[in-house]
Structure 1
Amino acid sequence: MSFSFFRGQLAEVIQWKDPQPSVLLWKFPSVHDEIKTASKLLVGPGQGVLLVYEGRVATVFEAEGLYSLETDNQPFITTLLRLRTGFESEHKLHVYFYRRADNLNQPWGTATPVKYLDPVYHFPVQLGAHGNFSFRVADARRFFTEVTGLSDTYAVPQATRLLQSRLGQELAMQLATAGWSYQQLDAQLGALAANLREPLAAEFAQLGLELMDFRLTGTQFDAGTQQRIGQLAGAVANSQAAASVGLSYAELEKLNALRDAARTSGSLTGAGLQAGAGAELGRLLTSQPNPMPHAATDPAEQLQKLKQLFDAGVITATEFEAKKKAWLDKWE
């Protein structure tokens, strides 16, 4: 029998000497997966230990301290030691250390875009979301059974992916039922995070984890949603511009269509369309009823409307000057 074999059976201190903050579970390395005679177990601050006997969690140490695995009154250890024969036993034991300390401000982000229908403007929205969360291992036995299994290590980033895998569907449901438009999301991040925390905490609890804090710090729309938002913003701006000069949005769009057609047509056709746009503008400005009693007799107001149409690119400089001269001539 080799010396290395006997050396492997000498008493030792079983401990997690250099725990990394990013590691939640760590298996103590042992050649024969056995408790050695007179071995001691050191549980450091912020640590816990699971003794896994033949694939099942036999006991959990949650209090820090130094334990003698031969003399301490632990029912499982007493039973195991009685089973031992000589140096080696057919009854194998794994020792797992786990992190009991809090894991604070862990960043998260949605793995895939979240989709929902904007409840105000009724167009599809896709967005990503990001934030941070804090958690800890609350039930080590359940955590080992439901999540880590017999893995040698389990890291915090794996727990983050676990949260993200459950987040997308819950976030989509909350957005669909909250009734918030895309314009309101930035102002509602706190409320949305609070709504998400309760169902996520319940799912984490089933895995032996406690979700201590959950925050949503921002969202990012995908390219298609940004394009739809831009189109909507342009339509709103055009509608407001039309209203400011006494026109309806449909009438302004008609003028814009004439103008665009003129710019893309041949010279003669374009000239005819330009004339048509000018005539249509004149008809609208002279026939559009105005709720202000003095507006029809106020050339300054009419000239202001013309200037707004010119600034918006609806009429050309030539048309602006011609109409301005006509109004001035009329009121001389």
Structure 2
Amino acid sequence: MSNSFRSQLRSVIEWQNPKPETLFEKWTENGDEIKNASKLIVGPGQGCLFVYEGKVEGVFEEEGLYDLKTGNIPFWTTIKNIMYTFESAHKVGIFFYRKAEMQNIRWGTPSPITYKDPVYNFPVGLGAFGNFSFKITTPVDFFTNVIAGDDYYPVKAIQKVILSRITQPISDFLANASFSYVEIDKHRNEIAAFSQNSSAQIFDELGFKLLDFRIEGTSFDEETKTRIGRIADMSAEAQAMKELGVSYQDYQQLEALKNMAKNEGGGNIGMQMGAGLGMGQMLGNMMNNQGQQSTPQQNTPSQPQPQSDDPVQKLEKLKKMFDAGLIDEQEYKQKKQEILSQF
């Protein structure tokens, strides 16, 4: 029996063993025509659209066995007449779709979401990833507005549709939020819920619904990481200076003297010596001031030597300054030798 003859006897239309990654698929089998078909089987979690000349003429949304030869299906008489009358120029397109919920679909931002940090006032590039679940709610709208007549539509294609529309609500939320980049992870559920609710109407018009949307983790682009690193370094320095009783002005002066001593621009020995002496004197003043701030003043005749002149205490403070990175190893050794010479 020829393939052409078997085509004329096609009696059952069925979506058999659809792949897990398939969302919409046009029914076909070796070019079979369906003008003699008599049965339609819609399996569990499936639906079926009948399309003629680009227009959806009928929808089967309930699973079961349908007898297409009878006239009890409202739109079927017209389609049956089309199939019996024409063979090639006016074939009917049959599209099966997955009606069941699609769960735990992975997503990730293809490029960073940019916004301005409201606390530190610098641009942030945020990446995010997670999963979502969705379901086709209006197959005709989905077929018309999303699939646009394609013969095959995989689940992964819906990721692009969702991400292209949900990243803007995320950006809007972060731009209007009062928390900084350090609090992003703490507010992930709040950001996800806002984004899902804000985009609900858009997806409803496209024929599907987000059942849930989760943000599992975030990351920052390299420029943002660099800015965060600088802030972390400055915060650490500020904390170290606070513990040592060193003002930011003193720290800036010390850094300026250190740069002069290095004399990166040329070999002026006099300037180097002057900067070195000024740096040593400033280190001594910083340690003396810190000692005076950390120890209560006791103006009594029984205390001939102020606490700030205690060499042991100076050595302890010098070590803390070295550990905090306020001075380098050479400066530490030099000042340490000066203090030891007082014994």
TM-score by length of structure 2 reads 0.86
Report the Cα distance in structure 2 between the residues aligned to 1:254 and 1:263, rounded to whole angstroms.
14
SS of residue in 2 equivalent to 1:115 = strand
Deviations 1:51-95 (A, max 9, x none): 112211111111111111111511111123345555637543110
Q: Give the secondary-structure state (helix, strand or coil) at the position aligned to 2:206.
A: coil
The aligned amino acid for 1:151 is D
Aligned residue for 2:317? 305
Q: Per-residue CA shift, 1:196-220, capped at 9, x if unaligned?
A: 1111332211111110110001111
Question: CA contact under 8 A between 2:34 and 2:83: conserved in structure 1?
Answer: no
What RMSD in Å do the two structures reach over aligned CA positions? 2.6
Name the CA distance, whole Å, in 2 between partners of 1:38 and 1:321: 98
Q: Which residue of 1 aligns with 2:122?
A: 123
The structural deviation recorded for 1:274 is 2.1
Matched with 1:106 is: 105
Shift in CA distance, 87/304, structure 1 to aligned 2, threshold 3 Å: same
Q: 2:333 aligns with which of 310, 313, 318?
A: 318
* Distance of 2:227 and 2:85 partners within structure 1: 76
Number of aligned residue pairs: give it: 327
Q: Return the offset for 1:21.
A: 1.3
- Residue 210 of structure 1 is matched in structure 2 by 209
AA at the equivalent of 1:244? E
| Runs (5+) with no aligned partner, structure 1 | none
2:285 match: 283
**What is the letter of the counterpart of residue 94 of structure 1?**
G
> Which residue of 261, 285, 296 corresponds with 1:293?
296
Give the C-alpha shift of residue 267 in structure 1: 8.1
Tell me whether 281-290 or 211-220 shows the greater mean CA deviation: 281-290
1:301 Cα deviation from its structure 2 partner: 4.9
Which residue in the other structure is 1:64 paired with? Answer: 63
Deviation string 1:170-213 (CA, Å, 9 cap, x unpaired) is: 21111111122111112111211111111133221111111011
Instruction: State the Cα distance separating 1:318 from its structure 2 match.
Output: 2.9
Q: Does the Cα contact within 8 Å between 2:287 and 2:318 map onto a contact in 1?
A: no
Residue identity opposite 1:272 in structure 2: G
In structure 2, do the counterparts of structure 1 residues 323 and 190 end up closer, same or farther at CA, with 3 Å as the change threshold?
farther
CA distance in 2, matches of 1:117, 1:16: 50
* Alpha-carbon distance in structure 1 between the residues aligned to 2:72 and 2:195: 44
**Superposed, which structure 2 residues align to 1:1-332 within 5 Å?**
4-29=3-28, 35-71=34-70, 73-83=72-82, 88=87, 91-265=90-264, 266=267, 268=269, 269-286=271-288, 290=293, 293-294=296-297, 297=307, 299=310, 301-311=313-323, 312-314=325-327, 316-325=331-340
1:20 & 1:32 partners in 2: Cα distance?
20
- 1:75 alignment partner, SS class: coil
Query: What amino acid is the match of 2:285?
Result: R
Could you tell me the TM-score, scaled by structure 1's length? Answer: 0.89
> CA-to-partner distance for each residue in 1:31-50, whole Å, 9 max, x for gaps?
77854224211111111000
Q: Deviations over 1:151-174 (max 9, x none)?
A: 001111110011111122221111
Distance 2:111 2:247 in 1: 41
Runs of 5+ consecutive residues of structure 2 not aligned to the other structure: 299-305
